[in-house]
Structure 1
């Protein structure tokens, strides 16, 4: 765990850095300290291990060279949805499921809602936002959702979670989660920049959390992420920069600086920052490592720890399974299982994707062919939609027409329309007194499609020729 800096140290420098913090904007610490050009040598192990990784990587030598020839023409481009990637680099999970991983430590939002101290509320809430980062260390790529694909989760801390792929070009997802203490809403649109052997990922999104007891609304702006050694060497992930959480109700805010990883892994994982009141005065310092734990301590106006107080641990990452093939946490396995699936699971659910399931079962060949078939079906449906002059309309979220500014561009906002809550109540009423038949759920055919039955057109899918038409 990082220790708080003494007077004139790093945390004190942060105080002066943020002294001119303006409403609606913030100063980027990394623009002052700089992280560009820092070479990272072996952030994970010994030099021999690095050399072995550089030789082996994820691909065989010929595969790497072939992949590099294909990819080098995209340098400087956004490759979010323009490149078909080999299934060998995927994990058996979609980005909709990864969105749900933020619910692993949702008890921190419960604590934020119940806490009477307004500044500790912010400590718990921002710690919740940081708690997902250990899961982001996984270097496998999740599957891009099919347009109309969903993921739903129940039976976790009383939470009902729903995510839907609301746009394909550009790829956009929306999610809503709720329990008795909070509601969570996000519209997410990733933007990437391919740099050869690395890729920068910019989280163009808007996150809103409502704490129900105090009726406070929180807004989150996470830092960007960099995936290093994408093709050659050991793949690893860093998120240098600022995370800003603003209380839109009171004007309080948290600014956490994610230290960039330097030479020989120096500074990796370290997070430091403050809770500020509406007058931009530091009230509580926060320090730790995003991969293990965060602690807090009351501070004075100079950002120094108050005498007679001690660091208090707020969150500690649970121990992760050893030797897991995809570096999954226990919660990631829960998300992928049908144990958190409700009765009457939507046929558009990510768990039901044949390519995802084949990869989970270790059948790379079938995973690759099923992935190709799904992508072909999606393209065929797009052509049919265009021929009918039809627009895709998400089922569970509505496009508002509003645009939200982000540090990386404007974002179109989708909002939860409440229809899923009605659907879930009806399904629960129908299933009253029944237990969820997991084996039966697994047999549901994956169906995110807007168009279904035959109108004289068909498309190859999973080795079968399936008819295509507009659904009722």
Structure 2
């Protein structure tokens, strides 16, 4: 009977252990955490729990069988003890009973070990689960806090815009420019502008409009004997150039953008601080143009440079060049969608000699970091080239896009060579609210022949500023540092220039800062934005030029962006097929890189092979040292237009 009691105790322990194991399964099932865990985490968790459940069921079944057969064996042995059997048989029975006892002891030890393991695993499992639950709760709390802050930020903006007494159009008879303002003067701006470096020794200026008949002798020195009337034919109404009907009929519309709703924050919240070009993004956030085509859009107001060719004064020419540099941002005001990242070796040509008097070629010369080389030749007497590398970071509330690289512009007749760099673009309201874009920072344009300079400042938008939104201010100075023109306007609408006839220091303010007062003649319009096409809001807010960039053309290189299949499918509205095709192209690009890495590894070490695999040899551009900036940059080496004329594209890589 004692043996039966031991086996019954083992059965009870087994039953309790089974109950505890089932409880352990339920505690680790993570039902309460399904909403906070990511799909990948939940899938892995469910598979692990399912596997553990099957093993625990097997152990429970074995435990029940051991208890059942052990109890039956003990009963049989007890029955044999009551029978009258010969001495020899009793000895054998005694040996069997001893073996059964040893088996019972071993089984009890195994069950006890399983119970101890279960208790230990259960204790640590609860601790791990509490730690995981805490981390998940902290993450959810952080997301809710950020979202709540964004909502309050949005409410504050609406309240400010609807506040009574706010001037609808805060224009003044004179303009007070915070040109190159210091950090102290920007203290009232929102925190999104904190990462823009301001110059400590910056100056400010005030412009006062005066009449041409007033005395122009400066108290502190005049700005130079430049005759204003000599520039009227060139500068006055420089952007009001009537558009000639194109000699080639171009398309004026594309299929309307499908009304697909997709939460950007659901994708971007896991990418804070990461490089945007390395984040796999669906085409739902794109527009049906590549970055190469967006770069070509900078030429929309090329007529400003055509006019600048005829300027006899370098400072007048600088005004038009500055207006051209600002005009390139006018296409971005409503364009919050992301252009396609070009494939390595992808090209885009714009052959418009008859319509625009120019030819443009872009090539993607690097994938990480993404970099594009661009060269433009105009038959009107100028050429432009640049290599732009895009650095972008998602910072939680906003996305900052920082173009790196110098832009060169040269006029053949005069030899004037201008160099400048692009400003920073910022996309706001990533979490909550309507997306909007802002341009901020300083641009310095330098004429390396005459040493003329133009300092442009893109003022960041502020809820509390009295200035007009998207304001741009600037001053054009000659090689001796004397100011000749004041520039003002907005990067999304127009730019004006006013000739300076007198300059003097103002009275010091309460904080001891002093501004320069410029007396100017009435301003003249340099550039004005073209109106958008009809139904532009349903066509990604494309301009007339942008609508034609992805139009199919015969004779282009097989690497041209117009032939990119995922971009073409997206333009037609087939976004699901476009996403599938985009994944195929990206995988094909990864395979090509692995092949380059394998080819390099045969002749050099692993580290050198890694560098070689990332060093792509462009087809139409080559790396050269820029003598003006001291940087290595890709410069057009020729051959593309000759290859197009002969239709010899055998050297082009197969990227699509």
Matched position secondary structure for 1:358: helix
Task: Indicate the residue corresponding to 1:161 in structure 2.
Answer: 360
- Residue of structure 1 aligned with 2:176, choices 3, 7, 10: 10
- Residue of structure 2 aligned with 1:357, choices 559, 568, 573: 568
For the 8 Å contact 2:404–2:422, the answer to whether it is kept is: no
Task: Indicate the residue corresponding to 1:414 in structure 2.
Answer: 634
CA shift in 2, pair 1:448/1:304, >3 Å: farther
> How is 1:327-406 mapped onto 2 (pairs within 5 angstroms)?
327-338=541-552, 341=553, 343-389=554-600, 392-400=616-624
Structure whose CA Rg is larger = 2
Task: Indicate the residue corresponding to 2:535 in structure 1.
Answer: 323
Task: Indicate the residue corresponding to 1:184 in structure 2.
Answer: 384
Offset at 1:76? 2.8
Work out the CA distance in 1 between the residues paired with 2:417 and 2:462: 36
Residue 382 of structure 2 is aligned to residue 230 of structure 1: no
Matched position secondary structure for 2:273: coil
Structure with the higher strand share, 1 or 2: 1
Work out the CA distance in 2 between the residues paired with 1:36 and 1:190: 30
- Residue of structure 1 aligned with 2:643, choices 396, 414, 423: 423
> How is 1:40-79 mapped onto 2 (pairs within 5 angstroms)?
59-60=261-262, 63-64=263-264, 66-71=266-271, 75-77=272-274, 79=275
Work out the CA distance in 2 between the residues paired with 1:297 and 1:419: 44
User: Runs ≥4 in structure 1, deviation > 3 angstroms?
Assistant: 1-6, 28-33, 57-60, 63-66, 264-267, 301-307, 401-405, 424-427, 447-452
Work out the CA distance in 2 between the residues paired with 1:375 and 1:248: 42
Work out the CA distance in 2 between the residues paired with 1:142 and 1:386: 28
Using CA pairs below 8 Å that are at least 6 residues apart, which structure has the higher relative contact order?
Answer: 1
Offset at 1:193? 2.4
CA shift in 2, pair 1:345/1:385, >3 Å: same
Q: TM-score of the superposition, structure 1-length normalised?
A: 0.76
Task: Indicate the residue corresponding to 1:261 in structure 2.
Answer: 461
CA shift in 2, pair 1:139/1:448, >3 Å: farther
For the 8 Å contact 1:381–1:451, the answer to whether it is kept is: no
Work out the CA distance in 2 between the residues paired with 1:349 and 1:91: 17
Task: Indicate the residue corresponding to 2:149 in structure 1.
Answer: none
Q: Give the superposed CA RMSD.
A: 2.9
Task: Indicate the residue corresponding to 2:348 in structure 1.
Answer: 151
Work out the CA distance in 2 between the residues paired with 1:424 and 1:32: 56
Q: 1:315-365: per-residue Cα shift (whole Å, max 9, x none)? A: 110101243220111111022223xx4x52101000111111111101110
CA shift in 2, pair 1:319/1:365, >3 Å: same
Deviates more, 1:263-272 or 1:328-337: 263-272
CA shift in 2, pair 1:65/1:237, >3 Å: closer
Work out the CA distance in 2 between the residues paired with 1:223 and 1:5: 29
Offset at 1:255? 1.0
Work out the CA distance in 2 between the residues paired with 1:153 and 1:30: 42
Task: Indicate the residue corresponding to 1:208 in structure 2.
Answer: 408
> How is 1:238-249 mapped onto 2 (pairs within 5 angstroms)?
238-249=438-449
For the 8 Å contact 1:131–1:317, the answer to whether it is kept is: yes
Q: TM-score of the superposition, structure 2-length normalised?
A: 0.55
Matched position secondary structure for 1:263: coil
Aligned residues between the structures:
390
For the 8 Å contact 1:30–1:241, the answer to whether it is kept is: no
Matched position secondary structure for 2:473: strand
CA shift in 2, pair 1:151/1:33, >3 Å: farther
Offset at 1:294? 0.8
Residue 653 of structure 2 is aligned to residue 450 of structure 1: yes
Task: Indicate the residue corresponding to 2:107 in structure 1.
Answer: none
Matched position secondary structure for 2:276: coil
Work out the CA distance in 2 between the residues paired with 1:106 and 1:417: 23
Work out the CA distance in 2 between the residues paired with 1:329 and 1:30: 36
- Residue of structure 1 aligned with 2:292, choices 87, 96, 101: 96
